[in-house]
Amino acid sequence: MASSDIKKLVRPHLATVESYQPVDPPELLAKRAGISEKDIIKLNGNENPNPPHPAVREAVANTPFNIYPDPLQRKVRNAISNYTGIDADHIIAGAGSDELIDLLFRLFIQPGDTILDFDPTFGMYAFCARLAQAELKYVPRNETFDLDIDAAKQSIDARTKIVFLSSPNNPTGNLASEEHIRALLDTGRVIVVDEAYFEFCKQSAADLVPEYENLVVLRSMSKWAGLAGLRVGYGIMSPTLVNYIIDIKSPYNLNIAAEAGLLASMEHASELQEAVDAIVDERERMISLLQALPGVKPWPSAGNFVLVQFAPGKAEEIFQSLAKRGIFVRKFGGERLRDCFRISVGTPKQTNALIAAMKELV
């Protein structure tokens, strides 16, 4: 079969889909900078600079890889229940919160339905919308990147199914207020509050879940627990929604190593939280060092990352120069963030190297 024939069989909207722009793996970044992998400073993925808790390595090593994991994730959901104080029947886990975002699209979206996205925000919502043939309505954030609730309400129509809200918002770092979240919930649409960075701010909408059947709170183990590579996240929502997700998810979606990693992390949650608090302190130190540089404006942040704004036209040049020195930060497409890039909070040593390089560059 000629390759042109196979192309005709691919669903047309997927054959030409704009793909998600993921971050490259460390070995590729190192090759590009012409330095060894151990010398790169990777601040482009909002990963945790610390390795997982040592108990994770031990738990994963003792995992029976030849056995399928529990499709109903009983142990995992109970452990998350202990951690969050929310009943296990309100909880479902996924291969990263990314998988849960995808499952929410599968559950609610038919081609032509609309989702609302508060731009600029995490790119996964728009990517999944493209895959699902959903129409994407952008509600621009205001000049301080906060929500424009009136504009959001006006944008909602009969076809609007899901409103995605990242809080803290990646990449701008700001939180959504409870008042705004309630205003959105009162529209009756599915409101997804993505709390991937909850442990860095400790502000959550999870307490509202028993009150609102249309609320879904997403959390991740990638950031606070340092399990990005194991892929594990979870959602908090009504038992009705949990059961729908269970019915449509692939049966063994949470692999057994991810399961073991989550269980071990939850047992050591308070130690992990102490390390998270140190990252928050480091974030504030990084912000004040950035503030002292001429022409550099760090935005306040409630996550483990900082959006930094430069004089018009400067961001790309500095971004490229940092990459040449082996320091990788995240630059975004689109007009609104043209003069910005996002820096994930690393170790104090990494912050110092970043600031020294930026001092020379600005």
Ligand X SMILES: Cc1ncc(COP(=O)(O)O)c(C=O)c1O
Which residues contact ligand X (rule: CB under 6 A)?
46, 96-98, 122, 166, 170, 194, 196, 220, 222, 228, 233
Residue count of the chain: 362
Q: Would you say 49 or 357 has its CB closer to ligand X?
A: 49
Q: Would you say 69 or 168 has its CB closer to ligand X?
A: 168
Question: Which tokens is 326 given?
Answer: 């082996």
Supply angle C-alpha 164, 212, 168, rounded to 5. Answer: 35
Smallest separation, CB 265 to ligand X (Å): 13
Smallest separation, CB 73 to ligand X (Å): 15
Smallest separation, CB 140 to ligand X (Å): 18
User: How many CA atoms are closer than 13 Å to the CA of 117, on its beta-carbon side?
Assistant: 20
Smallest separation, CB 311 to ligand X (Å): 27
Cβ–Cβ under 8 Å, residues 167 and 192: no
Smallest separation, CB 273 to ligand X (Å): 18
Smallest separation, CB 228 to ligand X (Å): 5
Q: Would you say 171 or 358 has its CB closer to ligand X?
A: 171
Q: Would you say 30 or 258 has its CB closer to ligand X?
A: 258
Q: Would you say 123 or 298 has its CB closer to ligand X?
A: 123
Smallest separation, CB 193 to ligand X (Å): 10
Report the distance separating Cα 116 and Cα 187, nearest Å. 12
Q: Would you say 222 or 253 has its CB closer to ligand X?
A: 222
Q: Would you say 52 or 358 has its CB closer to ligand X?
A: 52
Q: Would you say 190 or 358 has its CB closer to ligand X?
A: 190
Q: What is the CB neighbour count within 10 angstroms for residue 353? A: 18
Smallest separation, CB 55 to ligand X (Å): 20
Q: Would you say 160 or 166 has its CB closer to ligand X?
A: 166
Q: Identify the CA nearest to 268 among candidates 230, 233, 221.
A: 221
Question: Which tokens is 81 given?
Answer: 């229940």
Sheet of 190-194: strands edge to edge? Answer: 91-94, 233-236, 215-220, 190-194, 160-166, 114-119, 135-140
Smallest separation, CB 117 to ligand X (Å): 12
